[in-house]
Protein backbone atom coordinates (compact mmCIF):
# COMPACT_ATOMS: atom_id res chain seq x y z
CA UNK A 1 0.00 0.00 0.00
CA UNK A 2 1.21 3.50 -0.81
CA UNK A 3 1.98 5.65 2.21
CA UNK A 4 -0.40 8.57 2.63
CA UNK A 5 2.36 11.10 3.24
CA UNK A 6 3.89 10.06 -0.07
CA UNK A 7 0.52 10.46 -1.78
CA UNK A 8 0.09 13.98 -0.51
CA UNK A 9 3.29 14.98 -2.27
CA UNK A 10 2.16 13.49 -5.57
CA UNK A 11 -1.27 15.15 -5.61
CA UNK A 12 -0.25 18.20 -7.61
CA UNK A 13 2.33 16.55 -9.81
CA UNK A 14 -0.05 14.07 -11.47
CA UNK A 15 -2.11 16.88 -12.98
CA UNK A 16 -2.65 16.53 -16.72
CA UNK A 17 -5.24 17.82 -19.15
CA UNK A 18 -7.47 14.77 -18.69
CA UNK A 19 -7.37 14.16 -14.99
CA UNK A 20 -6.41 15.98 -11.84
CA UNK A 21 -5.48 12.89 -9.89
CA UNK A 22 -5.39 9.13 -10.29
CA UNK A 23 -4.16 6.37 -8.05
CA UNK A 24 -4.85 2.85 -6.84
CA UNK A 25 -5.13 1.66 -3.24
CA UNK A 26 -4.99 -1.93 -1.99
CA UNK A 27 -7.52 -3.20 0.55
CA UNK A 28 -6.74 -6.17 2.76
CA UNK A 29 -9.66 -8.57 3.23
CA UNK A 30 -10.49 -9.47 6.83
CA UNK A 31 -8.30 -6.82 8.43
CA UNK A 32 -10.75 -4.73 10.46
CA UNK A 33 -7.93 -2.89 12.23
CA UNK A 34 -7.20 -1.01 9.00
CA UNK A 35 -10.81 -0.67 7.84
CA UNK A 36 -11.58 2.94 6.93
CA UNK A 37 -7.99 4.07 6.41
CA UNK A 38 -8.27 4.09 2.59
CA UNK A 39 -11.49 6.11 2.73
CA UNK A 40 -9.90 8.55 5.18
CA UNK A 41 -6.89 8.95 2.90
CA UNK A 42 -9.03 9.48 -0.18
CA UNK A 43 -11.05 12.09 1.66
CA UNK A 44 -7.86 14.05 2.47
CA UNK A 45 -6.75 13.85 -1.18
CA UNK A 46 -10.10 15.17 -2.45
CA UNK A 47 -10.03 17.97 0.11
CA UNK A 48 -6.52 18.92 -0.95
CA UNK A 49 -7.65 19.02 -4.56
CA UNK A 50 -10.16 21.64 -3.49
CA UNK A 51 -13.32 19.73 -4.39
CA UNK A 52 -16.60 21.01 -2.94
CA UNK A 53 -17.51 19.72 0.54
CA UNK A 54 -20.57 17.88 -0.73
CA UNK A 55 -18.53 15.95 -3.32
CA UNK A 56 -15.89 15.10 -0.69
CA UNK A 57 -18.59 13.93 1.73
CA UNK A 58 -20.32 11.70 -0.84
CA UNK A 59 -17.01 10.24 -2.05
CA UNK A 60 -15.90 9.50 1.51
CA UNK A 61 -19.15 7.64 2.31
CA UNK A 62 -18.96 5.64 -0.94
CA UNK A 63 -15.29 4.71 -0.39
CA UNK A 64 -15.91 3.80 3.25
CA UNK A 65 -18.80 1.46 2.47
CA UNK A 66 -16.92 -0.16 -0.42
CA UNK A 67 -13.81 -0.59 1.73
CA UNK A 68 -15.82 -2.16 4.56
CA UNK A 69 -17.45 -4.57 2.09
CA UNK A 70 -14.05 -5.73 0.83
CA UNK A 71 -12.72 -6.08 4.40
CA UNK A 72 -15.85 -7.94 5.53
CA UNK A 73 -16.32 -10.36 2.65
CA UNK A 74 -13.42 -10.51 0.18
CA UNK A 75 -9.87 -11.87 0.28
CA UNK A 76 -8.47 -8.69 -1.16
CA UNK A 77 -9.37 -5.80 -3.38
CA UNK A 78 -8.38 -2.38 -4.59
CA UNK A 79 -9.87 1.04 -5.20
CA UNK A 80 -9.00 3.04 -8.30
CA UNK A 81 -9.59 6.73 -7.82
CA UNK A 82 -9.62 9.14 -10.76
CA UNK A 83 -10.53 12.78 -10.40
CA UNK A 84 -11.32 14.75 -13.55
CA UNK A 85 -12.46 18.36 -13.74
CA UNK A 86 -16.07 17.11 -13.93
CA UNK A 87 -16.18 13.88 -11.92
CA UNK A 88 -14.81 11.72 -9.16
CA UNK A 89 -14.61 8.15 -10.46
CA UNK A 90 -14.26 5.36 -7.94
CA UNK A 91 -13.78 1.75 -9.07
CA UNK A 92 -13.61 -1.10 -6.59
CA UNK A 93 -12.51 -4.57 -7.65
CA UNK A 94 -12.32 -7.49 -5.26
CA UNK A 95 -11.48 -11.16 -5.22
CA UNK A 96 -14.11 -12.82 -3.10
CA UNK A 97 -17.33 -14.81 -2.91
CA UNK A 98 -19.23 -12.53 -5.31
CA UNK A 99 -22.92 -11.63 -5.02
CA UNK A 100 -25.44 -14.21 -6.30
CA UNK A 101 -28.43 -11.84 -6.32
CA UNK A 102 -27.41 -8.22 -6.85
CA UNK A 103 -30.97 -6.87 -6.74
CA UNK A 104 -31.48 -8.42 -3.30
CA UNK A 105 -28.07 -7.20 -2.08
CA UNK A 106 -29.01 -3.65 -3.07
CA UNK A 107 -32.06 -3.67 -0.78
CA UNK A 108 -31.70 -1.70 2.42
CA UNK A 109 -31.42 -4.07 5.38
CA UNK A 110 -30.39 -7.17 3.43
CA UNK A 111 -27.08 -8.56 4.61
CA UNK A 112 -25.17 -11.84 4.63
CA UNK A 113 -22.84 -10.66 7.40
CA UNK A 114 -21.95 -13.11 10.14
CA UNK A 115 -22.48 -12.49 13.84
CA UNK A 116 -18.92 -11.23 14.41
CA UNK A 117 -19.30 -8.55 11.72
CA UNK A 118 -22.73 -7.51 13.04
CA UNK A 119 -21.48 -7.20 16.62
CA UNK A 120 -19.04 -4.55 15.44
CA UNK A 121 -21.91 -2.51 14.03
CA UNK A 122 -21.30 -3.51 10.42
CA UNK A 123 -23.52 -5.71 8.29
CA UNK A 124 -26.63 -3.58 8.67
CA UNK A 125 -27.45 -4.06 5.01
CA UNK A 126 -26.80 -0.40 4.26
CA UNK A 127 -23.50 -0.62 2.36
CA UNK A 128 -24.55 -0.98 -1.27
CA UNK A 129 -27.72 0.98 -0.54
CA UNK A 130 -25.66 3.94 0.74
CA UNK A 131 -23.27 3.68 -2.21
CA UNK A 132 -26.22 3.86 -4.60
CA UNK A 133 -27.76 6.81 -2.69
CA UNK A 134 -24.60 8.91 -2.75
CA UNK A 135 -23.57 8.16 -6.36
CA UNK A 136 -24.62 10.00 -9.48
CA UNK A 137 -23.91 6.85 -11.48
CA UNK A 138 -23.47 3.37 -10.04
CA UNK A 139 -22.67 0.16 -11.90
CA UNK A 140 -22.18 -3.19 -10.22
CA UNK A 141 -21.26 -6.57 -11.63
CA UNK A 142 -20.36 -9.74 -9.83
CA UNK A 143 -19.39 -13.33 -10.44
CA UNK A 144 -19.95 -15.95 -7.75
CA UNK A 145 -16.69 -17.34 -6.34
CA UNK A 146 -14.66 -14.78 -8.30
CA UNK A 147 -15.44 -11.28 -7.13
CA UNK A 148 -17.32 -8.05 -7.48
CA UNK A 149 -16.70 -4.86 -9.44
CA UNK A 150 -18.25 -1.49 -8.63
CA UNK A 151 -17.98 1.69 -10.64
CA UNK A 152 -19.19 4.89 -9.08
CA UNK A 153 -19.27 8.36 -10.56
CA UNK A 154 -19.87 11.46 -8.48
CA UNK A 155 -20.31 14.65 -10.49
CA UNK A 156 -18.50 17.79 -9.45
CA UNK A 157 -19.83 21.23 -10.17
CA UNK A 158 -17.46 22.85 -12.64
CA UNK A 159 -15.60 25.04 -10.21
CA UNK A 160 -12.06 23.64 -10.42
CA UNK B 1 -20.42 24.73 22.87
CA UNK B 2 -17.09 22.97 23.36
CA UNK B 3 -16.50 19.42 24.56
CA UNK B 4 -14.97 20.59 27.82
CA UNK B 5 -18.20 22.35 28.83
CA UNK B 6 -20.29 19.29 27.98
CA UNK B 7 -17.85 16.98 29.78
CA UNK B 8 -17.99 19.11 32.94
CA UNK B 9 -21.77 19.51 32.98
CA UNK B 10 -22.42 15.79 32.41
CA UNK B 11 -19.52 14.39 34.46
CA UNK B 12 -17.93 12.67 31.47
CA UNK B 13 -14.59 10.97 31.97
CA UNK B 14 -12.11 11.82 29.21
CA UNK B 15 -10.08 8.84 27.97
CA UNK B 16 -8.20 10.29 24.99
CA UNK B 17 -7.13 13.52 23.26
CA UNK B 18 -7.65 15.70 26.35
CA UNK B 19 -5.86 18.48 24.44
CA UNK B 20 -8.77 18.58 21.97
CA UNK B 21 -11.51 19.48 24.44
CA UNK B 22 -11.94 22.89 22.86
CA UNK B 23 -13.41 21.13 19.78
CA UNK B 24 -16.69 22.83 18.97
CA UNK B 25 -19.80 20.63 19.14
CA UNK B 26 -22.41 21.72 16.62
CA UNK B 27 -24.77 18.75 16.91
CA UNK B 28 -25.00 15.13 17.92
CA UNK B 29 -25.79 11.68 16.64
CA UNK B 30 -26.68 8.52 18.52
CA UNK B 31 -26.19 5.10 16.95
CA UNK B 32 -24.36 1.80 16.96
CA UNK B 33 -24.66 0.89 13.27
CA UNK B 34 -21.58 2.30 11.61
CA UNK B 35 -23.17 2.65 8.15
CA UNK B 36 -26.03 4.61 9.68
CA UNK B 37 -23.61 6.92 11.47
CA UNK B 38 -21.55 7.29 8.28
CA UNK B 39 -24.60 8.23 6.25
CA UNK B 40 -26.47 10.45 8.69
CA UNK B 41 -24.11 12.13 11.14
CA UNK B 42 -22.40 15.43 10.42
CA UNK B 43 -19.07 17.15 10.86
CA UNK B 44 -18.86 18.66 14.34
CA UNK B 45 -21.31 16.15 15.85
CA UNK B 46 -20.68 14.48 19.15
CA UNK B 47 -21.26 10.74 18.55
CA UNK B 48 -22.98 8.75 21.28
CA UNK B 49 -22.52 4.99 21.00
CA UNK B 50 -22.21 1.66 22.78
CA UNK B 51 -19.58 0.37 20.34
CA UNK B 52 -16.11 0.25 21.89
CA UNK B 53 -13.96 -1.28 19.12
CA UNK B 54 -11.37 0.60 17.08
CA UNK B 55 -13.51 1.12 13.98
CA UNK B 56 -15.43 3.88 15.78
CA UNK B 57 -12.28 6.00 15.54
CA UNK B 58 -12.15 5.52 11.74
CA UNK B 59 -15.78 6.65 11.43
CA UNK B 60 -15.28 9.65 13.73
CA UNK B 61 -12.11 10.66 11.86
CA UNK B 62 -13.77 10.33 8.47
CA UNK B 63 -16.86 12.25 9.52
CA UNK B 64 -14.81 14.81 11.48
CA UNK B 65 -16.84 14.36 14.64
CA UNK B 66 -16.02 16.59 17.59
CA UNK B 67 -15.70 13.49 19.78
CA UNK B 68 -17.20 10.17 20.87
CA UNK B 69 -19.08 9.42 24.09
CA UNK B 70 -19.45 5.83 25.22
CA UNK B 71 -22.59 5.12 27.23
CA UNK B 72 -23.38 2.92 30.26
CA UNK B 73 -19.82 3.28 31.61
CA UNK B 74 -18.44 1.22 28.71
CA UNK B 75 -14.69 1.56 28.34
CA UNK B 76 -12.94 1.81 24.96
CA UNK B 77 -10.89 -1.23 23.91
CA UNK B 78 -7.13 -0.75 24.21
CA UNK B 79 -6.54 -0.56 20.46
CA UNK B 80 -9.46 1.90 20.20
CA UNK B 81 -7.72 4.14 22.70
CA UNK B 82 -4.38 3.90 20.91
CA UNK B 83 -6.01 4.83 17.61
CA UNK B 84 -7.98 7.70 19.19
CA UNK B 85 -4.79 9.16 20.67
CA UNK B 86 -3.09 8.84 17.28
CA UNK B 87 -6.01 10.43 15.40
CA UNK B 88 -6.63 13.01 18.15
CA UNK B 89 -10.26 12.02 18.64
CA UNK B 90 -11.57 12.68 22.17
CA UNK B 91 -13.30 9.62 23.63
CA UNK B 92 -15.32 10.13 26.79
CA UNK B 93 -17.23 7.77 29.05
CA UNK B 94 -20.63 8.46 30.59
CA UNK B 95 -22.46 6.41 33.20
CA UNK B 96 -25.78 7.36 31.60
CA UNK B 97 -27.66 5.17 29.11
CA UNK B 98 -27.85 6.44 25.51
CA UNK B 99 -31.40 7.81 25.79
CA UNK B 100 -30.68 9.96 28.85
CA UNK B 101 -27.29 11.16 27.60
CA UNK B 102 -28.72 12.10 24.21
CA UNK B 103 -31.52 14.06 25.88
CA UNK B 104 -29.10 15.87 28.19
CA UNK B 105 -26.80 16.88 25.32
CA UNK B 106 -29.75 17.87 23.14
CA UNK B 107 -30.89 20.22 25.89
CA UNK B 108 -27.39 21.63 26.42
CA UNK B 109 -26.93 22.35 22.71
CA UNK B 110 -30.39 23.91 22.53
CA UNK B 111 -29.33 26.56 25.04
CA UNK B 112 -27.36 29.58 23.93
CA UNK B 113 -23.89 29.41 25.46
What CATH number has the domain bearing residue A121? 3.30.565.10
**Is residue A99 a part of any domain in this protein?**
yes
Which band of pLDDT confidence, cut at 50, 70 and 90, is reported for residue A2?
Answer: very low
What CATH code is carried by the domain that includes residue B34? 3.40.1390.20
Quick check: A106 pLDDT over 90?
yes
Exposure string for A8-21, b = 16+ CB within 10 A, e = fewer: eeebeeeeeeeebb
Which band of pLDDT confidence, cut at 50, 70 and 90, is reported for residue A158?
Answer: low
**Is residue A136 a part of any domain in this protein?**
yes
Helical axes A37-48 vs A53-73, angle rounded to 10°: 160
Which structural domain range is residue A14 located in? 4-155
Contact A33, A27 (CB under 8 A): no
A57 to chain B nearest CA, in Å? 8
Nearest CA in chain A to B83: A33
| Average confidence (pLDDT) over B85-102 | 97
Residue among A32, A40, A65 whose CB faces B61 most closely: A40
What's the domain count of chain B? Answer: 1
Which structural domain range is residue B20 located in? 3-110
Contact A67, A39 (CB under 8 A): yes
Contact across the interface for B51 and A121, Cβ inside 8 Å: yes
pLDDT at residue number A7: 39
pLDDT at residue number A157: 85
- Side by side, which strands form the sheet with B45-49? B13-14, B91-93, B67-70, B45-49, B27-30
Quick check: A94 pLDDT over 50?
yes
What digits encode the pLDDT tens for the residues A10-38? 344 444 557 899 999 999 999 998 999 99
pLDDT at residue number A12: 43
What's the domain count of chain A? Answer: 1
Name the interface residues of A facing B (CB cutoff 8 Å): 32-33, 35-37, 39-40, 43, 60-61, 64-65, 68, 120-122, 124, 126-127, 130, 133-134
A14-23, B47-56, B79-88, B94-103: range with lowest mean pLDDT: A14-23
| Average confidence (pLDDT) over A69-73 | 96
| Average confidence (pLDDT) over A100-107 | 94
Average model confidence (pLDDT) across chain A: 88
| Average confidence (pLDDT) over A119-148 | 94
**Is residue A160 a part of any domain in this protein?**
no
Distance (Å, whole) CA B47 – CA B68 = 5
Amino acid sequence: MVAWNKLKITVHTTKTENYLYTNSFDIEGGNFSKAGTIATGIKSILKELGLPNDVVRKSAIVCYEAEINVVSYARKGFINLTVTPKTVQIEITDEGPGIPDIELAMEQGYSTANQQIREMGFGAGMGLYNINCYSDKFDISSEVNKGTFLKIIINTPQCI
Amino acid sequence: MDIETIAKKLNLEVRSASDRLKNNVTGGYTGDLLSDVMANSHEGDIWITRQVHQNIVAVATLKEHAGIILVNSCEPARDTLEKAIQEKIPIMVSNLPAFELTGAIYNLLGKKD
